[in-house]
Amino acid sequence: MNGRVSFVLMVIAVLAFACTRSSTIDSASSTKSAHKKGTAVASALDVRVDDEVHFQLHVMNEGNRKVELNFKDGKTHDITVLDEHGRQVWRWSDGRLFTAAYQNKVLRSDDTLSFNEAWKSPAPGRYVAVARLVSQNFPQEQRVAFAVR
């Protein structure tokens, strides 16, 4: 009986600890996040339209200490395109498979990590690109409006 009670208490303690460790994405207007003194991660999204729409998500370490970005799997970023009504019309990660392995990427002070993706054959219209760095400890989100003619 004492073994069962101890086991139940241990499970409750582990769950309580896990629930307090979750992180959330700050508002879309926030481009920087700092977790420790001397660390600051910022992001920027560039969108260029020609025959395709080209996206460049830049993640910068603007602090004076190295930063280790933690990812729960092989998916480090994602880009979604929304139409004028807020409906998703394209997502970079759709149809892709990602490794299940936990991974880390280190950014030294003043380093930049860039992700380049392209949306082929976009229809004319007005859109909003939403780019996300899906880091567990430094999540970032950027939004940029653009038009395809």
pLDDT of 29 over the 90 cut: no
pLDDT of 119 over the 60 cut: yes
Question: Which residue segments constitute the domains of the chain, with CATH numbers given?
Answer: 2-148 (2.60.40.2360)
What is the separation, in whole angstroms, between the first and last Cα of the chain? Answer: 71
Measured distance CA(80)–CA(44) in Å, rounded? 15
Give the DSSP H/E element, type plus range, for residue 144.
strand 140-148
- In the prediction, which pLDDT does 21 show? 29
Residue-by-residue DSSP string for 43-100: EEEEEEESSSEEEEEEEEE-SSS-EEEEESSS--EEEEEE-TTS-EEEETTTT-----
Measured distance CA(135)–CA(126) in Å, rounded? 29
**What pTM value is reported for the model?**
0.75
Percent pLDDT > 70 in the chain is 74
Give the DSSP H/E element, type plus range, for residue 115.
strand 112-119
Q: Which two tokens mark 57?
A: 């998500």
pLDDT of 30 over the 70 cut: no
